[in-house]
Amino acid sequence: MNKLQIIMFCQLIVGFQSTAQNTGPVYLDSSQPIEKRVESALSLMTLKEKVDMCHAQSKFSSKGVPRLGIPEIWTDDGPHGIREEVFWDDWSGAQWTNDSCTAFPALTCLAATFNPDMALLYGKSIGEEARYRNKTVLLGPGVNIYRTPMNGRNFEYMGEDPYLSSRIVVPYIQGVQQNGVSACVKHFALNNQELWRDHINVVLSDRALNEIYLPAFKAAVEEGKVGAIMGSYNQFNGVHCCTNDLLLNQILKKDWKFEGVVISDWGGVHETDKAVRNGLDLEMGTSIDGLTNNGGIPYSEYYLANPFLKGIESGKYMEALLNDKVSRILRLIFRFTMSQNRPYGKFISPEHSEAARKIAEEGIVLLKNDKQSLPVPVGKYKRIAVIGENATRSVTLGGGSSSLKVAYEVTPLAGLVALYGKKSVVYSQGYASGSVSYDREEQSHANTDSLVHAAVETARGAEIVFYIGGLNKNRFQDCEGGDRKTYNLPFGQDKLIEALLKVNRNLTVILLSGNAVAMPWIDKVPAIVQSWYLGSEAGNAIADVLTGAVNPSGKLPFSFPKKLEDNAAISFGKLSYPGDSINECYKEDILVGYRWFDTKHIAPLFAFGFGLSYTNFEYGKITTDKKTYNKDETIKVSFTLKNIGKVDGAEAVQVYVSQPKASVLRPAKELKAFKKVFLKAGESQSVELEVKVKDLAFYNEKTHGWSVEPGQFVLHNAASSAEVKSSVSIQVKKE
């Protein structure tokens, strides 16, 4: 051991012994400002130690500096639960006995709550589980925009509207990070399909980029203070997003002043020079990792490993580029892992089960309820048929990186049996989808005709049928790595539903999915429920809604088109989606989702923001606190909401804004405020919301900034994008 090593060793020992008295090395003293600690640690690190912090050392971890007491970074999927432990250099599960988790609802369900309080509860709960498992970074949430119903990964995201996504993602991040775990919002940016995701080049206007695809990321940075951001696989402007100068250096770090860590998606880095210069900080998952896989790239040969080190030593790269990356990584470690206020966390607790159930119940959307078919109270029927594979199939498995090893999962059938009783419920599978697979399309060997025949006979002898189907997180369903192949329900479900209706018209369809689906049978079915992927408490939440123990209050976070061609992106042909395998042009521009349907006067199957209740709500006329506003003011909106039914319930009220005369194309309306209001039967409440005048702006491609034009704007209170209750006009003054 040389003299310098002896000094460093003594500093380390003294640091550990005296941290409690705040007299040790600055970087170990958690009472010191983080920037001072970063500067102190950086000054003591060797060049190689700094480079080693910029790339993976295993599937999910990167190096710390052991001799200085700086810990490793441990990341983990996913946004819906803490993924099982895997081997150091292998994706296979490590077969631990203590890494089963609570599965929380998919983020489409969270967005459907239209309730930021649920997002905070979600983040806090999953953050506690991540902390207990000693994770540094939770790889989520995802906020990529729902552009088409075909994207295999839509279930991981928060819908089609940038404002809704922004309001839900911020409290989620805050909830996670109060546990001493950094969230990692993903995938930055324009990762809106799985087909050709590793190379497709996205072409779109600056206006669409800024108005539709970036706002949720911006909110995550500026309001949520997120500790990390993950780049996406695809290209933008001909450059991969994990090493994209415009996205990472100019927008994220310069314009938004992001001080955290940019982490690559696993395998999203393709060359050293762009990785060094264009804003990436931590490289993960390049090719096949490690030392145990034949043909794999050793971690030491990652683009930000030895090639980076040699480039600095040869003078090709300034050490300042390295120091910026390491400073960000140290900042994350000191802010979270080495925070003196870091709690201990907890795992699969009763509180987490309660949170998962509450979020699921608030996110379930009642789409149709003719003749008040629902709810079905316990005791109303003596024979209830439950039909459909999703009634018994685990939907916490599959889907790619969001697949979970759960401590328990209450299936829909189990939840219904628990409330209605074993004697009242009879089950038939109806269809079969094959075993769970991420990387290939599995086929079932079951006899389809026999399954259909058995289901029809079961339905014939029942007083009511609960059909529980949808998608299932298999390859080409809702699954990472591949987009859906059809808008219709898979595995012959449409024909099965038609066959069931021929023998029993009292049929409720309960769909488990993260995407819209075609419904050719919609006019024949009296009731439809959108139930998402609900996690560990799925069966209990579904049963509570069907029996009426819980009044549904979810609202759709994306539009359901009647036919696939009605979707904006798909309406423009293959170059718009899915592209020609090289480029993809977002020809719908800013008219995504309800903006397209409303502006082009195309009726959707179900509108954005739509959702029924077991009660009814009466909206009063919308008013504002005044009629004329300056550009730096806030519009105060109010109206009365009354529960005019006989059941306690909640309504997610929405405020949209229109600009009748504008110098550029503006959508017919845009969501600018919402609020979940809980009312007892007969109760009324004055609802108050705020809209900032600056949020009425459009992105001006001529000035490369945001513009609020003077003139008339119209504010609407609404139950959905297609159901405006009343409107009021205001004027924005000319400066």
Instruction: Please identify, among 523, 551, 579, the residue that sits at the C-terminal boundary of a domain.
Output: 551
Question: According to the model, what pLDDT value does residue 606 have?
Answer: 98
* Structure confidence at residue 434 (pLDDT): 86
19 pLDDT more than 80: no
Q: In the structure encoding, which two tokens stand for residue 453, read together?
A: 């025949």
Both 370 and 508 in one domain: the answer is yes
Residue 679 has pLDDT above 50, yes or no: yes
pLDDT at residue 15, as a whole number? 39
The structure tokens listed for 358 are: 């509450």
Instruction: Please indicate, yes or no, if residue 402 is contained in any of the structural domains.
Output: yes
Q: Mean pLDDT of all residues in the chain?
A: 94
Mean pLDDT of 130-139: 98
Q: Say yes or no: 544 and 630 in one domain.
A: no
Residue whose token pair is 């966390």: 345
For residue 669, the domain's CATH number is 2.60.40.10
Its domain, for residue 21, covers 1-32
User: Does 703 reside within a domain?
Assistant: yes
Using alpha carbons, select from 246, 315, 310 the residue that is nearest to residue 274: 246
pLDDT of 6 above 60? no
Check whether residue 649 and residue 547 sit in a common domain. no
Quickly list DSSP for 487-548.
SSPSTTHHHHHHHHHHH-S-EEEEEE-SS----TTTTT-SEEEE----GGGHHHHHHHHHHT
Residue 717 lies in a domain: yes
DSSP single-letter state for residue 693: G
CB burial class (10 A; 0-12, 13-18, 19+) of residue 277? middle
- Is residue 33 predicted with pLDDT exceeding 80? yes
- How many whole angstroms separate alpha carbon 33 and alpha carbon 335? 10
Q: Using CA of residue 320, residue 325, residue 326, residue 327, what is the dihedral sign? A: positive
**Percent residues over pLDDT 70 in the chain:** 96
Residue 408 has, within 13 A of its CA and on its CB side, a CA count of: 14
440 located within any domain: yes
* Same domain flag for 437 and 530: yes
CATH number of the domain encompassing residue 380: 3.40.50.1700
Q: Based on the domain organization, do 419 and 547 belong to the same domain? A: yes
Same domain assignment for residues 687 and 539: no
Could you tell me if 542 and 639 lie in one domain?
no
pLDDT tier, 177 (very low <50, low <70, confident <90, very high otherwise): very high
**Model confidence pLDDT, tens digit, residues 503-513:** 999 999 999 99
Catalytic status, residue 632:
no
Least confident of 8-12, 623-627, 653-657: 8-12
Distance, CA of 523 to CA of 517 (rounded, Å): 15
114 φ, ψ (degrees, to nearest 5): 50, 40
Neighbours of 33 (CB within 10 A): 11
Query: Residue 9's pLDDT band (boundaries 50, 70, 90)?
Result: very low
For residue 288, the model assigns a pLDDT of 55
Residue 325 lies in a domain: no
In a domain, 724, yes or no: yes
Helix (H) or strand (E) holding 52: helix 47-52
Question: What whole-number distance in Å separates Cα of residue 59 and Cα of residue 89?
Answer: 6
pLDDT tens, position by position, 327-370? 999 999 999 999 988 999 999 999 999 999 999 999 999 999 99
Give strand pairing partners of 65.
70
State the pLDDT at residue 89: 84
pLDDT score of 438 more than 90: no
Between the alpha carbon of residue 228 and those of residues 54, 268, 403, 562, 697, the distances in Å are: 14, 16, 22, 38, 28
CB 173 within 8 A of CB 511: no
pLDDT at 24: 75
Residues 103-128 pLDDT 10s: 999 999 999 999 999 999 999 999 99
Cα separation, 595 vs 598, in Å, equals 5
Decide which of 551, 578, 594 is a domain's last residue.
Answer: 551
Asked if residue 127 belongs to a domain, the reply is no
Query: Of 190-199, 221-230, 440-449, 537-546, which range is least confident?
Result: 440-449
Name the band, by pLDDT with cuts 50, 70 and 90, for residue 296: low
pLDDT band at residue 1 using 50, 70 and 90 as cut-offs:
low
* 650 and 505 in a common domain: no
Q: Which of 529, 551, 573 is the last residue of a domain?
A: 551
* Beta pairing class for 617-619 and 634-643: antiparallel
pLDDT in tens, 402-434: 999 999 999 999 999 999 999 999 999 999 998
Do 547 and 622 have their domain in common? no
**What is the model's pTM?**
0.95
The three-state (H, E, C) secondary structure of 39-51, written as one string:
HHHHHHCCHHHHH
The average pLDDT across 661-665 equals 97
Residue 69 forms part of a structural domain? no
pLDDT at 662: 97
- At residue 295, the pLDDT reads 52
For 42-58, what is each residue's pLDDT tens digit? Answer: 999 999 999 999 999 99
- CA–CA dist 27, 49 (Å, integer): 16
* Same-domain check for residues 471 and 369: yes
The residue from 265, 281, 289, 566 that is catalytic is 265
- Is 86 within 8 Å of 92 (Cβ atoms)? yes
**pLDDT tens sequence across 551-561:** 999 999 999 99
| DSSP three-state, residue 82 | coil
**Whole-angstrom Cα distance, residue 523 to residue 418?**
31
Contact in structure between 184 and 173 (CB atoms under 8 Å) = no
Provide mean pLDDT across the span 138-150. 98
Pairing of strands 201-203, 235-236: parallel
Q: Are residues 505 and 425 in the same domain?
A: yes
Same domain for 520 and 371, yes or no, is yes
Total tally of structural domains belonging to the chain = 3
